Amino acid sequence: MHGVLKVLTIALLLQAGSAFANYLHFSSYSRDGIGAPFMGSLAELCDIVSQIQMLYLLLSLCMGWTIGRMKKSHGRPLQWDSSPASTGIAVIVVVTQSVLLIWEQFEDTNHHSYHSHHGLASGLLIGLRVCLALSLAAGLYQIITVERSTLKREFYITFAKACILWFLCHPCLATITVIFREYQREKIITIGVILCQCISMVILYRLFLSHSLYWEVSSLSSVTLPLTISSGHKNRHHF
């Protein structure tokens, strides 16, 4: 299995673990008003690791395409560029989010994955996700507007939708839940974000495994992509 799919699989399993732990925590909370602190902490841990993995994956892909496009010819927009610049930017953003996530855990001692958004760390996390969504959308939009191939354009658009859903679901839900009561916000945000991010990962799964999109885009590209199969080896790989 390729590295991209390994990261997606692990992140999806972590999200499932977080959802199950949150379910146990909320079920206990509805009965005794206390919940299960261990399950809440486990859900937080699974969520943090999943967030870090997915953030690095999405940034690596997007930074590789955008920086690679600026440095190379316009006929080679799909190159996975692991240059020091793209890697450095991705690492800095990942470390920043990791610090904010850990800070948020200490700032709010309640055991759930998505905390009340009154603290500084929570506000900075929301701001970071909005900035990431806007910057990645802008970079992908530049590629989409100059791409002539309908197939490649469809691939980029689908990937952009998955990225935007992943980064903006939390800020959007945090804004929408302002109209709800305090005790309702936690459940709505936690369940909503987990569902949205699982949908985003499923979209990415289908995109990278699709014979009509990623595989064809890879074969049409003049460079090697993570899952590119040369014509001489296509018959050896089956799903």
CB distance 218 to 228 below 8 Å: yes
Q: Give the pLDDT confidence score for residue 165 in this predicted structure.
A: 92
Contacts of 218 (CB under 8 A, 6+ apart): 78, 225, 227, 228, 229
Tens digit of each residue's pLDDT (9 = 90 or more) over 90-113 = 778 888 888 887 887 776 655 455
Tens digit of each residue's pLDDT (9 = 90 or more) over 195-219 = 898 899 888 888 877 755 665 665 5
The domain tally of the chain equals 1
Q: Give the pLDDT confidence score for residue 236 in this predicted structure.
A: 41
User: Average pLDDT, whole number, for the chain?
Assistant: 73
What does each C-alpha distance from 109 to 33, 101, 195 come to in angstroms? 15, 13, 24
User: What is the C-alpha to C-alpha distance for residues 48 and 76, in angstroms, rounded to an integer?
Assistant: 35
User: What is the C-alpha to C-alpha distance for residues 231 and 223, in angstroms, rounded to an integer?
Assistant: 13
Predicted TM-score (pTM) of this structure: 0.72
Work out the number of other CB atoms within 10 angstroms of the CB of residue 155: 23
Tens digit of each residue's pLDDT (9 = 90 or more) over 224-233 = 344 433 334 4
Whether the pLDDT of residue 75 is over 50: the answer is no
User: What is the C-alpha to C-alpha distance for residues 60 and 97, in angstroms, rounded to an integer?
Assistant: 15
What does the pLDDT average to over 68-80?
A: 43
Q: Give the pLDDT confidence score for residue 2 in this predicted structure.
A: 65
What does each C-alpha distance from 114 to 23, 32, 104, 209 come to in angstroms? 14, 21, 9, 31
Q: Could you give the percent of the chain with pLDDT greater than 90?
A: 2
Place of tokens 């673990």: 17
What does the pLDDT average to over 186-199?
A: 85
User: What is the C-alpha to C-alpha distance for residues 193 and 226, in angstroms, rounded to an integer?
Assistant: 28
Tens digit of each residue's pLDDT (9 = 90 or more) over 27-36 = 887 777 777 7
User: What is the C-alpha to C-alpha distance for residues 73 and 79, in angstroms, rounded to an integer?
Assistant: 10
Q: Which residue has the higher pLDDT, 127 or 190?
A: 127
Q: What are phi and psi of 35, to 5 degrees?
A: 90, -170
77: containing domain: 3-236
Whether the pLDDT of residue 78 is over 60: the answer is no
What does the pLDDT average to over 145-154?
A: 81
Among 20-24, 35-39, 202-206, the range scoring the smallest mean pLDDT is: 35-39
* Widest CA span in the chain: 63
User: What is the C-alpha to C-alpha distance for residues 158 and 150, in angstroms, rounded to an integer?
Assistant: 12
Place of tokens 């993995």: 53
Q: Give the pLDDT confidence score for residue 168 in this predicted structure.
A: 92
Helix axes 150-176, 120-146, angle to 10 degrees: 160
Give the residue ranges of DSSP H helices in 72-181.
84-107, 120-146, 150-176
Assigned token pair, 101: 């996530």
Confidence of residue 238 (pLDDT cuts 50, 70, 90): very low
Q: Could you give the percent of the chain with pLDDT greater than 70?
A: 69
User: What is the C-alpha to C-alpha distance for residues 218 and 228, in angstroms, rounded to an integer?
Assistant: 5
Which residue type sits at 152? K
What does the pLDDT average to over 173-194?
A: 84
Assigned token pair, 83: 């240059």
